[in-house]
Structure 1
C-alpha cells in the first residue's frame, strides 16, 4: 500500500457511475469528457473496445508507421489488488473493428498501489508503432485490474482509438522486432522477493508534502494508518487551501475497511461524499508483499530533502521510485517520478492512535447517497 494522493491535478470524483480510464492521445472512440464528475465515457468494459464500433467515416488519427509515439491516458480510479496485481497495456490491431484475438500488445506495465481508490493518475507511455502502413487500424489501452470487486462485465477496462499508419521514410522492422522481444522478456520476468522488502509499523502517523512542478501543484497533510483496526485517515491541504474546489481546498478522508465506507469531506464547503471501498492493502514495499515492485538498492543516500543525512532503500515499479529509510522500521521517505513529481514523507510517530481520530465529521455520517461503489460492494450493503 503506497500513499499517493492527487497524482495529477485532475482529481475528478465520481457521481454515481464508474469512471476508470480515458484516452486522449490518440483520441478515444465516442464521447470524451473528464471536465465534470462522473464522466461516463471513461467507463468502458466490454471487449475489445468497450462495445463501441467504428465506421469508415469515423475520425482517425494519422501517425507514421515505425515511428515512436507517446500514448497519453488517465487511470481515473485505482483498483490495485494484492491478491493478483493487475497491469495496464497498449495494444494494436489492423482493421476497422478487429476482434480481441487480432490485438497484440506493444507495451505493458504493472499497476501500482496508490492505497486511495479515488486517486487519478496520468500516464504518457512511449511506444514503437508497428512498421505496418494501414488505412484502418486501432490503438487500444486497457486496465486489467484483476480486482474481483470490479467484476461486472469482467475486471478489465478498455479504450480504443481509430488510427491510420502512413509509410515512413525509415525502415524500423529490426527495432520493432527487438522491442517485441524485450517486451516478452519483461512480461515473463520472474519477480523475486528481497530480504529488504518490508511493511510500515502497524500503527503509524506521518506528514507528507506532494509537488508537481509542471503544473505548479502542491499539497501537504497527515496520514494516520492503523493496520490492526483496518482504518486510515488522511488530511490534505491543496494549493494553500483557501478555495472551495478540489484544487485549492482542505480535505479529510476517513477510510474504514471493516464497514467498507470512505468519506471525503471538504472542510471549506462542509460537503461530504460517500464511497464504497475495495479491499484493504497493507502499507508495504516489495514483491514479497505482492506490491509489484522490484528492489533496486540498499543503504544509499535518501533523495528526500527531509532525509539527506539518512540512508534509504529503494524499490521501483515502472516509473515510480519508492524509498524507505534504511532501518528495520520500514518508514517511508519518498515517492518520485521522472516528470519531477514527488511525495516526500517526514519521519513520523509509531504508536497507538486515538480512536476519535477515525470518527468522521457529523456531516459525513448523515450522508446516505453513494458516489461510487463496486457492484459487489452494492450487493452486500444494499
Structure 2
C-alpha cells in the first residue's frame, strides 16, 4: 500500500511540476514574423527586445502601412514612453505603453504549458485563443496564434542577441 501511495504522490508531484513549467525569452532577442492579412496579403513584423535596457521596437509592415513602435521604460513600477513612426508619411506620435513586462510563458503568466514536443515548448490558453510555440532550449518564439483574431505568425531568423543596438534609436521626427 505504501508503494502505491508513493507512486501516486510521485505522479501528482510530476504533473504539478509540468503544469508549473515556464520559460522566458532571452534578455535580448530579435526576429521576424510573417502572417497573412484577411485580404491575403503578407503581413510582416520585425521584433527587437532588450530587457537589459528595457526597450522594445516592433516594425509592422503591410501593403497599406509601414510603422515602427519604439517603447522605452525606466523601471518596473512606472509606465514607459512609446512612439509610433509612420514611414509612408514620415510622421510620429507619442502614445503610452503599459508597464514593462518580461516576455514569459507559463501558468503564472496566463499561458499554461501544454507539452514539449520535438524540441518545442507549447503554451496555450483556450479561454483567450492564444497559443505560443517556443524553442525548448532558449524559449525563442517559433509561432504565435490568436485563434479568435484569425492570426498566425510564424517566426524565422530569431537570434538571442541584438545585432545593432541602434535599432532602438527613434527617428528624429519623433520628439
For the pair shown, which has the larger CA radius of gyration, 1 or 2? Answer: 1
Distance 1:206 1:250, change over 3 A: same
Q: Report the more deviating stretch, 194-203 or 346-355.
A: 346-355
Tell me which residue corresponds to 2:145: 336
1:160-171 equivalences in 2 (<5 Å): none
Tell me which residue corresponds to 1:167: none
Q: Does 1:268 align with 2:76?
A: no
State the 1:193 CA deviation. 6.6
Distance 1:193 1:263, change over 3 A: farther
- Taking structure 1 as the reference length, the TM-score comes to 0.37
C-alpha RMSD over aligned residues: 2.3
Q: Does 1:207 align with 2:32?
A: yes
Q: d(CA) in 1 for partners of 2:157 and 2:23?
A: 16
SS at structure 1 position matched to 2:48: strand
8 A contact 1:201–1:330 mirrored in 2: yes
Tell me which residue corresponds to 2:132: 322
8 A contact 2:48–2:162 mirrored in 1: no
Tell me which residue corresponds to 1:225: 49
State the 1:353 CA deviation. 4.8
Unaligned runs of 5+ in 1: 1-190, 240-247, 301-310, 366-382
Q: d(CA) in 2 for partners of 1:313 and 1:283?
A: 14
Distance 1:261 1:193, change over 3 A: farther
State the 1:358 CA deviation. 1.1
Q: Does 1:295 align with 2:113?
A: yes
Q: d(CA) in 2 for partners of 1:338 and 1:349?
A: 26
Tell me which residue corresponds to 2:3: none
8 A contact 1:206–1:346 mirrored in 2: yes
Higher strand share: 2
Unaligned runs of 5+ in 2: 1-15
- Taking structure 2 as the reference length, the TM-score comes to 0.77
Q: d(CA) in 1 for partners of 2:147 and 2:98?
A: 29
State the 1:291 CA deviation. 1.5
Tell me which residue corresponds to 2:106: 286
CA deviations on 1:135-158 (whole Å, 9 max, x unpaired) are xxxxxxxxxxxxxxxxxxxxxxxx
SS at structure 2 position matched to 1:198: strand
CA deviations on 1:321-359 (whole Å, 9 max, x unpaired) are 11112x321111111244652011114122245432211
Q: d(CA) in 1 for partners of 2:162 and 2:147?
A: 36
- Equivalent residues, number: 153
1:72-111 equivalences in 2 (<5 Å): none
